[in-house]
Amino acid sequence: MICSHLSELHRSYQHIILSPHLDDAALSCGGSIAAAVAAGEPVLVVTVCTAAPPVDAAFSPLAQHFHAEWGLSPGEVIQTRLAEEQAALATLGADGLWAGALDAIYRMPQAYHSRETLFGAPDPVDPLVTTLHELCHHLRTRFPQAVIYAPLGVGQHVDHQLTCRIAAQLAGPVMWYEDFPYVARDGELERRLAQLDWPLRPLARAIDERMNARLAAIAAYASQLAELSHSQLGRAVDAIEAGEVINAAVRAYAQRVAPPGAWYGERFWVRA
């Protein structure tokens, strides 16, 4: 089930995943989502940036670059990515809430006009801060006992950083997931942990039985895989090869962070 407003949700959730974009939850913690659902624990994936920009907008060179990398026209981008998300969440068995914010490259094109600015310090007047505050307040009020999961902000994407920061202000149980594929790059995790001003400790979960579900969900985001393989993993490949590159990277990292006795894992961070 996919909804666009909290009022449309009619069940309780034990796990709520804040996903800045249409792919982050599956990429980063899809195995844990599938495992929770299999254990009878309902999961809600709240995707923040799901709004379509006006098709006649003056897109920045950076946005045009991403459109070309994805092989999509401006009018196709969001429609295609929403369909991918719907397929991925169906694979994982999770419900979805689409929050309706604009991605940074559409929201503040003058501020986030290059990779350096998109993966740099968030603009001090970014309206996403208010959006996230309101969204998280309503989620916590509606689901006071749920564990809310947010991106750690590894890789420095501004949308991830802001989601991480606002989640840290919430009362109740909060955990942070490692942003994949950014976390697979040497030194990125350590760099991010050094930036945060609250102490965290790691918690690894085994996903041996749910790795195939995670990979299948990731495969649903076909428009994104080649760009991610190129920009984050350093492999310039076509769309077919990109799936193989991403799968190999997912498996390799999941082996690195697996808890004792497990083959694959996903690692989260909790307040120390």
Q: What is the mean predicted confidence (pLDDT) over 219-237?
A: 87
Quote the pLDDT of residue 243. 87
Residue 222 has pLDDT above 80, yes or no: yes
Return the number of other C-beta atoms located less than 10 Å from residue 104's C-beta: 27
What rounded mean pLDDT belongs to the chain? 95
Structure tokens at 102: 């604009």
Superfamily designation of domain 2-271: LmbE-like (3.40.50.10320)
State the pTM of this model: 0.96
* DSSP assignments along 178-213, one per residue: --TTGGGSTTHHHHHHHH-SS-EEEEEEE-GGGHHH
Domain ranges of the chain: 2-271
Q: What is the mean predicted confidence (pLDDT) over 232-240?
A: 80
pLDDT in tens, 134-188: 999 999 999 999 999 999 999 999 999 999 999 999 999 999 999 999 999 999 9
Q: Which residue has the tokens 């929201």?
A: 107
Quote the pLDDT of residue 175. 99
- How many Å apart are CA 166 and CA 46, to the nearest integer? 14
Give yes or no for a contact between 94 and 29, defined as CB atoms under 8 angstroms apart.
Answer: no
Quote the pLDDT of residue 233. 83
Quote the pLDDT of residue 62. 94
Dihedral sign, CA of 61, 67, 73, 78? negative
pLDDT in tens, 84-135: 999 999 999 999 999 999 999 999 999 999 999 999 999 999 999 999 999 9
- Write the CA distances from 240 to 151, 214, 244, integer angstroms: 28, 18, 7
Closest CA to 41 of 49, 28, 32: 32
pLDDT band at 37 (very low <50, low <70, confident <90, very high): very high
